[in-house]
Chain A
Amino acid sequence: MFAAFQCVIRRDLLLALRRRSDIFTTLFFFIIVVSLFPLGVGPDADILRLIAPGIMWVAALLASMLALERLFANDYADGSLEQMMLTPQPLFLLVLGKVIAHWLVTGLPLVLIAPLLGVQYDLSSEGITVLLLTLLLGTPVLSLIGAIGAALTLGVRGGGVLVSLLVLPLYIPVLIFGAGAVEASVSGLGAEGHIYLLGAILIMALCFAPLAAAAALRISME
């Protein structure tokens, strides 16, 4: 069972490595969106510090939306998804494997680049640490919830736009607590409460989202 789980992760990572441009699209989208705001809002460091957490988080949300389409679409197109569903392995485990691989490819780079962008926004080192921590806890949730939306809209016309309509409302709690934690730590209040809640959301998403996504895949494939 876990061999299949590892196998799915390794396969998806290998596929992603063969098509590196996909990884960089998400990453550069994130960097560009974040870098556009100082040009639009103005280079005032006080304002930038104030809006940094929100901008980073919204950009991360949009970047992960952009990547969602690739989660199942390629496997669906070449039929390998159908083969995976025919294997005796529990489907939610395979879905979890795919989501983890997807997060490693699209979510983790965002987390790693975020400190650099935080410096651009003149965040304090404490704020950057909290930002890193919240992104680390929050971006897997985005991938997990996104998997449900991606599975539901598999092969539907206009699926890309539809996914955002389905998934963004469910992302909002992550956004609130993620950006709230950074804001709280920058303004001197403790960020612990927000971080604990994010952790709780992550655990809940880990438990239920793969099951829901697997059910959604079954609905889409029958």
Chain B
Amino acid sequence: MASGSINWFKYSAPSNFYVLAGRIVPWAALLAVVLGVAGLYLSFFVAPTDFRQGEGYRIIFIHVPAAWMSMFIYLVMACWAAVGLVMNTRVSYMMVTALAPTGAMFTFIALWSGALWGKPMWGTWWVWDARLTSELILLFLYIGFMALQSSISDSRRADRAGALLILVGVVNIPIIYYSVKWWNTLHQGASISLNAAPTMALIMFWTLIVMTLACWAYTIAVVYARARCIVLERERNTTWVKELVGGKQHD
């Protein structure tokens, strides 16, 4: 850690990446559990009742982190896809593949918790509002990516085709992000922004941050664990994998 010059390209070799990911996973998982427990405790017992929305607002503590993660994971996928297309590194494609299911899950959670929140607050499960619709499109993009990858049997072509699709779909992200500003529809505006004080009680804000960090840690743990499986699967014919599994490989 302390040495100034780490050779980052070292980890673009699947064997080194596998070891690094294996070191990260348990710590990230531990962090996710600790932060998750702390965040849930804060959100259920410490955060005060909202004066307008009552207890129902507590859904925000899962809804907003999930919505953030759904967009953020897509952007991370787009970055890895671009790196993969430019530098032709296999590990970046593996990261794209590993990120997709988690991103789809967070998108689904954001939509679902939003529906549960919408029923008591707006009196409806679903409206065809700009932000809801664009988030739904995001879910379709994730599903389309996974469908494309799974239907192409040549993994190299699947990787590159998927990466291109992700980069094309990235136009949707600013649309979701700005949708509450551009269209004045039912979804409420953002309560938190980078250049202004949050318009909510400070304890609520910090609870939200803790929950978001918990989601981050969870994502890191799950994605690296999944990436490790993908590395093993793709590299199953190499010597280092055969040595790793102790010669139990048959093909």
**Chain A residues whose CB sits within 8 angstroms of the CB of B161 once the complex forms:** 152, 216, 219-220
Complex: how many Å from CA A170 to CA B170? Answer: 10
* Residues in chain B near residue A152, CB distance under 8 A: 148, 161, 164-165
Which of A10-18, A98-106, A127-135, A154-162 contacts the other chain?
A: A154-162
In the assembled complex, how far is the CB of residue A202 from the closest CB belonging to chain B, in whole angstroms? 14
A169 pairs with B141, CB closer than 8 A: yes
Report yes or no: B157 in contact with A220, Cβ–Cβ below 8 A.
yes
Tell me the chain A residues, 144-175 only, with Cβ under 8 Å from chain B: 148, 152-153, 156-159, 162, 165-166, 168-170, 172-173
Determine which of B151, B165, B168, B175 lies in contact with A173 in the assembled complex, contact meaning CB atoms within 8 Å.
B175
Which B-chain residue is minimally distant from A153 (CB atoms)?
Answer: B148
Is the pair A165, B164 in contact by a Cβ cutoff of 8 Å? no
Chain A nearest CB: distance from B86 CB in Å? 12
One of B148, B151, B164, B169 near A169 (C-beta < 8 A) = B169
Question: Nearest chain A CB to B229's CB is how many angstroms away?
Answer: 24
Contact B169 A148 (CB under 8 A): no
The answer to whether B151 and A166 touch across the interface, beta carbons within 8 angstroms, is: no
Measured CB to CB, the closest approach of chain A to B132, in angstroms, equals 12
B187 at the interface (CB under 8 A from A): no
Check if B168 sits within 8 Å of A148, measured CB to CB. yes
Note all chain A residues with C-beta closer than 8 A to B169.
Answer: 169-170
Report the nearest A residue to B140, measured CB to CB. Answer: A169
Residues 173-187 of B at the A interface (beta carbon under 8 Å): 175
Q: Which residue of chain A lies nearest to B134 when distances are taken between CB atoms in the complex?
A: A172
Q: Could you say which residues of chain A place their CB within 8 Å of the CB of B175?
A: 173
If the complex has contacts A219-B157, A219-B161, are A158 and B168 also in contact, measured as CB distance less than 8 A? no
B152 touches A156 (CB 8 A): yes
Question: Does any Cβ of B come within 8 Å of A58's Cβ?
Answer: no
C-alpha gap A165/B167 in the complex (Å): 16
Which residues on A are within 8 Å of B, measured CB to CB?
Answer: 148, 152-153, 156-159, 162, 165-166, 168-170, 172-173, 176, 212, 215-216, 219-220, 222
Residue ranges of B at the interface with A (Cβ–Cβ < 8 Å): 133, 137, 140-141, 143-144, 147-148, 151-152, 157, 160-161, 164-165, 167-169, 172, 175
List 19 additional contacts besides A148-B164, A152-B165, A162-B147; criterion CB under 8 Å: A148-B165, A152-B148, A152-B161, A156-B148, A156-B152, A157-B151, A159-B151, A162-B148, A162-B151, A165-B144, A165-B148, A166-B144, A170-B168, A172-B133, A212-B167, A216-B164, A219-B157, A219-B161, A220-B161
